[in-house]
Structure 1
Amino acid sequence: MTSPVDTIQRFYDALERGDVPGVLATLNEKIEWTEAERFPYYTGTWLGPQAVFDNLLAQVANDWDGFAATPSDYIVDGNRVVALGTYTGTYRKTGRDISVPYAHVWTVSGDTLLKFVQYTDTAKVLEALR
């Protein structure tokens, strides 16, 4: 059986490769995805992989060069995992770079991701957009 951290790492690995089908394959069909309020792509909680693709993945691919969400540590409590890491990338319209820490709170169901909540310094991300 795959561990929760292994499942989450598959997501980050696919994201790093730009493997959208691989990213979507890690998401449970009932995933609840919530970006931090005031994050550029926040519009509430999205339900399902297609909503995550439409509202986040496609937008990030369009807006950023070299965007990465790189985990550096995991805190595990059963099927709930906090991934600590750093966002990096260059916002295309301004040419500004970011290096912003994040905490991603995941709930894992079997070998898929059921819930995601993002915590990050949205002000630092928004600075790159201006």
Structure 2
Amino acid sequence: MKEISAGGVVFRHNEEGQLQVQLIQDRYGKVSLPKGKMEPGETVEETALREIREETGLTGEIVSEIDQIKYQYEHSSFGLVDKEVHYYLVKAIGGTHQAQIEEIRGVDWFEPMEAWRRQRQSGYDNNHRILAGALRQLGYQVTV
């Protein structure tokens, strides 16, 4: 069985013109990125934007693709699942910034290098290269 999810690294420029990157805190207390499963009839891009909107309250527009994460896991009913997660660099263009408390604990904006520090300190290892790729596209040099 194959399962496809999508999400993104959301960014904005605040009132002072400073670049900020969004991170979420998931239900396990880990730093993460908004993402979720593709629904029937959706494109991968539509999934990414819907999941960002549902989890963070923000509408966005895709700037570019960042990368994909692929792995396998054992599902109790379906057996071995091939999981594919597509990540995009997404510019925040509207909405009200708030966490979907049913799925995540919190959502906030960070200066890019602070976001990188938090990711390295308490994020999932497979998200290191996703956030690093987004930061590189935004003009910051980081190494995984």
**Fold shared, TM-score > 0.5 on shorter chain:** no
TM tier relative to shorter chain: under 0.3
Quick one: higher RCO (CA 8 Å, sep 6+), 1 or 2? 2
Query: Quick check: which has more Rg, 1 or 2?
Result: 2
Higher helix proportion, which one? 1
Query: What is the TM-score when the length of structure 1 is the normalising length?
Result: 0.28
